[in-house]
């Protein structure tokens, strides 16, 4: 047997199997300076450590939308939580869209008041109203963390563009973040007054 016979077979050019590539949501990526602990603690306040670091973890690795769950956004009257967290665009959507969806599904111009929906002939509208409300609550609970992540990221990037000192950046983030108790309280009181007026006829 000569030396040529002992050589390993040459590569025939056949494609070699590749390692399976993980989807983007499973790949770990650095969050970058936009989400430093100091910045997020300033934006969210004490709840960053106790709650929001865990809730936003999926988006720190990949900012693409994936459903997560936020109980306060789901079980509170949905728009109120978004207003509380200064998410004004989602607040507007969750406040207005369910009414449009209800009218589109039912084709009815009947006002969605307690008195009207309690009438026997409108029982099916009452069922549809509850279905739309539950769907809206589920959508709010499933998207709230993502909306909050996007606003925190936008705020952090906006602050980075200001060219101010680190302490001023943190002050800006504290003002942009946190919660809006005044507007939320006014909104809840207004909704209670409207509901009581409906019962009063």
> Could you give the CA distance from residue 87 to residue 148 in angstroms, rounded to a whole number?
7
Backbone angles phi, psi at 85, to 5 degrees: -95, 15
Q: What is the pLDDT of residues 129-188, one digit of tens each?
A: 889 999 999 999 999 999 999 999 999 999 999 888 989 999 999 999 999 999 999 999
Q: pTM, whole model, 2 decimals?
A: 0.77
Dihedral, CA of residue 112, residue 116, residue 117 and residue 118, to nearest 10: 150
Tell me the C-alpha distance between 57 and 148, whole Å. Answer: 12
Contact 45, 86 (CB under 8 A): no
Look at 21-25, 117-121, 139-143, 155-159 and tell me which has the smallest mean pLDDT: 21-25
Helical residues (DSSP H) of the chain, grouped into ranges: 3-6, 37-44, 47, 53-55, 57-61, 71-75, 78-84, 88-106, 114-117, 123-160, 166-176, 181-199
For the cut 60, the answer to whether the pLDDT of residue 196 exceeds it is: yes
Question: Do 198 and 114 form a contact (C-beta atoms < 8 A)?
Answer: yes
Name the maximum alpha-carbon separation found in the chain: 105
pLDDT for position 51: 92
The length of the chain in residues reads 201
Q: State the first-to-last Cα distance of the chain, in angstroms, to the nearest integer.
A: 105
């Amino acid at each position: 047997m000569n030396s040529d016979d002992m050589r390993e077979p040459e590569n025939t050019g056949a494609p070699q199997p590749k390692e399976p590539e993980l989807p983007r949501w499973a790949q770990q990526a650095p969050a970058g300076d936009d989400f430093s602990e100091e910045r997020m603690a300033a934006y969210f306040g004490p709840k960053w450590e106790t709650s929001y670091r865990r809730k936003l973890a999926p988006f720190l690795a990949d900012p693409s939308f994936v459903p997560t769950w936020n109980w306060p956004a789901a079980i509170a009257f949905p728009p109120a939580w978004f207003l509380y967290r200064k998410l004004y665009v989602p607040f507007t959507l969750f406040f207005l869209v369910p009414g449009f969806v209800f009218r589109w599904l039912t084709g009815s111009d009947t006002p969605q008041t307690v008195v009207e929906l309690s009438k026997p002939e409108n029982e099916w509208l009452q069922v549809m109203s509850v279905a739309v409300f539950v769907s809206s609550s589920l959508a709010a609970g499933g998207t709230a963390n993502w909306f909050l992540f996007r606003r925190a990221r936008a705020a952090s990037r906006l602050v980075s563009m200001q060219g101010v000192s680190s302490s001023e950046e943190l002050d800006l983030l504290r003002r942009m973040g946190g919660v809006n108790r005044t507007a939320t309280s006014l909104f809840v009181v207004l909704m209670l007054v409207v509901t009581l007026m409906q019962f009063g006829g």
